[in-house]
Amino acid sequence: MSDAITLSLYITLVGMSLVFGTILLLWGLMVLMTRLLAEREPGPEIQDEARQRRARAAAAAVAVALAEQAQSRIGYFPMPNTALVSAWQLGMRTRQMIQKGSLKQ
């Protein structure tokens, strides 16, 4: 083989070995960091506090959902007689009722 082809093969070999070596080095660093910085299992008193916080958060979420549901019923307007409603009003009110969930498509 000529010197140019041999030189290019050596450069390719060095470049590929640098890339794969760097990948292996980064992989090893990630494994080391995850082992050193991994969170330990919390003690029983911390687990109880976390359980209580989750229960309070769930209760607050239920209270908010019930309040939103009650509030959505307050703004309900019955449909007037058909003669008093234009086509545009009918379309807008139908869209609002679909968004509120009182009409099923």
Residue 53 within any structural domain of the chain: no
Instruction: Provide the pLDDT confidence category of residue 105 given band limits of 50, 70 and 90.
Output: low
CA 28 distance to own-chain centroid: 30
Residue 33's SS3 state is helix
Residue 51 within any structural domain of the chain: no
Residue 88 within any structural domain of the chain: yes
The tally of domains found in the chain comes to 2
Residue 64 within any structural domain of the chain: no
Q: Beta-carbon neighbour count of residue 19 at 10 Å?
A: 10
| Angstrom distances, CA of residue 87 to CA of 61, 81, 93, 97, 98 | 39, 13, 10, 15, 16
Q: What distance in Å separates the CA atoms of residue 15 and residue 2, rounded to the nearest whole number?
A: 20
Residue 62 within any structural domain of the chain: no
Residue 49 within any structural domain of the chain: no
pTM across the whole model: 0.37
Residue 7 within any structural domain of the chain: yes
Per-residue confidence (pLDDT) for residue 75, from 0 to 100: 59
Residue 20 within any structural domain of the chain: yes
| Angstrom distances, CA of residue 75 to CA of 13, 34, 71 | 73, 53, 7
The parent domain of residue 86 ranges over 77-105
Mean pLDDT of the 33-39 span: 87
What is the pLDDT of the chain when averaged over all its residues? 83
